[in-house]
Amino acid sequence: MDPELIKDCVHCGFCLPTCPTYVLWGEEMDSPRGRIHLMSQHVEGTPVTPEMAGHFDACLGCMACVTACPSGVRYDRLIEQTRAVVEREHVRAPEERAIRELVFALFPYRRRLRALRLPMRLATRLRPLLERVHPSLGAMAELVPPPARPVRLPPRVHAVGRRRATVGMLVGCVQSQFFPQVNAATARVLALEGCDVVIPPRQGCCGALSLHSGRDARRFAKATIETFERAGVEAVVVNVAGCGSSMKEYAEVLKDEPGGWAERAAALRVRDLAEYLVELGPVAPRHPLPVTVAYHDACHLAHAQGVRSQPRELLRAIPGLELREIAESAVCCGSAGTYNLFQPGPARELGDRKARHVLATRADVLVSANPGCSMQIAAAMRRSGEGEMRVAHTAEVLDASLRGLGARALGGR
């Protein structure tokens, strides 16, 4: 916890109303300003007490406070440093440790996730039992989306028409296992917009899960950099908000590593899909898609990467599509990476709140650019019993328009 970064906070409180846990509980120590105060207490010599660790763990890492802060406090850096300290100094209860180890041994590995797909489907039915064993297991079972047809992506998808760029594509661990159709749509959209898309078959986890939990992410970062260096691409396009934000942090993560890693990280042009498509400019014709869409700002896209206008711009450019805004769009849905697994209680409350606002838009489709958010909000809508809404990724909506599939491809009217 860098005291210099802590000092930037002038205690103005502008972060409070954007903080999901402050919105829920209205307590100072569960607000960014209060957590920074706790950090300064630790820097001044107070050990990490269980209470203190609890308030840091309760932070979703959504970075809404970073957007709101007029003093430019780097809360993102601070909380990452703090989580590392908590991991080092705080001894967790045995069952909490077990759950965390399970998650970290599972989610960053695509093959392990694949092996678990069948048991996970079973788990949906065993949810009440799992819930009793541990709330985190119950949350996991509730989040699992219905099984998707596996999609095998070729190592290279050729541009349609004149080639305008060669880009790499990260398939993501959770994305590729639970939402393979999003990756397929992403590759098609990029190809239709004139990109050769390189999809390295042996890519691993980008390290987002570890990085956002205070664990060492350097191994994952280096492997990912090497993979895309070998691919020979101009940019790496990422369709998962959480992965994109952590990959944009590689230079910071590897800043002390010998071997020029920081420079190599900086040379990797990482772009969110929407960000990249807007930079590139459209060439493929858009076919009408008469559908109303509510766009959800994933925190790791809107707050961590500052990508808000681009996805909206892409959606609005589709003829016939009506875009609706969701109330409290800057407040996290409670997914937040592993948060809904480790903190199922508050995650559930935030999910319910988000689902209410989403359903209130009365849109046909909810568009979200992060698999975590999609699963979280879908589960909350199912739970509410007040109707469901088809959930799609920006890429799927664009794909449907570019290929002229019509609204039915999205389950709209």
Partner 1 sequence: MSDPVLDRLAVRFEELLPAGAVITDPVRLRTYECDGLTHHRAMPGIVVLPETAEQVAAAVRLCGEYGVPFVARGSGTGLSGGALPRTDGVLIVTSRMRRILEIDLPNRRAVVEPGVTNLAITEAVREQGYYYAPDPSSQQVCSIGGNVAENAGGAHCLKYGFTVNHILGLEIVTPDGEIVELSALDPGYDLLGAFVGSEGTLGIATKITVRLSRTPEAVTTLLAAFGSIEGGGEAVSAIIAAGIVPAAIEMMDALAVEAAEAAVGCAYPEGAGAVLIVELDGPRAEVEHQFAAVERICRETGAFEIRVAASAEERAAIWKGRKSAFAAVGRISPAYIVQDGVVPRTALPEVLAGIDRLQEEYGIRVANVFHAGDGNLHPLVLFDDAAPGEGERAATVSGRILDLCIEHGGSITGEHGVGVDKSRYMPKMFTEEDLDTMQLVRCAFDPRSLSNPGKVFPTPRLCGEVPGVRKGVHPLVESGRAEQF
For residue 323, the cross-strand partners are 293
CB neighbourhood size of 341 (10 A): 23
Sheet holding 365-368, edge to edge: 321-325, 291-296, 365-368, 390-392
How many other C-beta atoms can be found within 10 angstroms of the C-beta atom of residue 131? 17
Decide if residue 349 touches partner 1 (CB under 8 A).
no
Strands ordered across the beta sheet of 156-157: 156-157, 195-198, 165-170, 235-238, 270-272
Residue of 2, 20, 26, 148 interacting with partner 1 (CB under 8 A):
26
- Which one, 98 or 327, has the nearer CB to partner 1? 327
Helix H or strand E segment including 157: strand 156-157
What's the CA gap between 59 and 83, in Å, rounded? 10
Q: Should residue 104 be labelled a site residue for partner 1 when binding is judged by CB under 8 A?
A: no
**By CB under 8 A, is residue 51 in contact with partner 1?**
yes
- Give every CB contact of residue 18 below 8 A, 6+ residues apart in sequence: 64, 65, 67, 68, 330, 331
Minimum CB separation of residue 25 from partner 1 in Å reads 8
259 near partner 1 (CB under 8 A)? no
Calculate the alpha carbon distances from 292 to 99, 384, 407 in Å.
Answer: 39, 21, 10
Q: Applying CB under 8 A, which part among 65-73, 82-90, 250-258, 379-387 lies near partner 1?
A: 65-73
| Residue of the chain from 1, 6, 21, 34 that contacts partner 1 (CB under 8 A) | 34
Our CB check for partner 1 shows the closer of 11 and 162 to be: 11
Nearest to 70 by CA among 24, 16, 3: 16
CA dihedral 248, 253, 258, 259 (to 10 degrees): -20
Scanning 36-44, 111-119, 166-174, 205-213 for contacts with partner 1 by CB under 8 A, the matching segment is: 36-44
- By rule CB under 8 A, what count of residues binds partner 1? 29
Q: Which of 37, 127, 164, 218 binds partner 1 (CB under 8 A)?
A: 37
Closer residue to partner 1 in complex, CB, 70/128:
70
Which residue, 13 or 411, has its beta carbon nearer to partner 1? Answer: 13
The answer to whether residue 27 forms part of the interface with partner 1 (CB under 8 A) is yes
- E-strand stretches of 224-342: 235-238, 270-272, 291-296, 321-325
Tokens 């996290």 belong to 332
Choices 5-13, 101-109, 127-135, 343-351 (CB under 8 A): range interacting with partner 1: 5-13
Q: Nearest distance from residue 71's CB to partner 1, in Å?
A: 3
3-state helix, strand, coil in the chain (%, to 5): 55, 10, 35
Minimum distance from residue 360 beta carbon to partner 1 (Å): 13
Cα 140 to its chain centre, rounded Å, is: 16
Given candidates 5, 8, 322, 330, which one binds partner 1 under the rule CB under 8 A? 8
DSSP type of residue 343: -
Q: Is residue 16 a contact point for partner 1 (CB under 8 A)?
A: yes
Minimum CB separation of residue 249 from partner 1 in Å reads 22
CB of 52 to partner 1, least distance (A): 5
Compose the 67-96 pattern: x for residues touching partner 1 by CB under 8 A, - for all others.
Answer: --xxxx------------------------
d(CA 176, CA 203) in angstroms, rounded, equals 11
**Residue 313 interacts with partner 1 (CB under 8 A): yes or no:** no
Scanning 38-46, 143-151, 315-323, 329-337 for contacts with partner 1 by CB under 8 A, the matching segment is 38-46
Minimum Å gap between C-beta 26 and partner 1 is: 4
Among 20, 21, 32, 52, binds partner 1 (CB under 8 A): 52
Please count the residues of the chain: 413
User: Which positions lie near partner 1, rule CB under 8 A?
Assistant: 7-14, 16-17, 22, 25-29, 34, 37-38, 41, 46, 49, 51-52, 55, 69-72
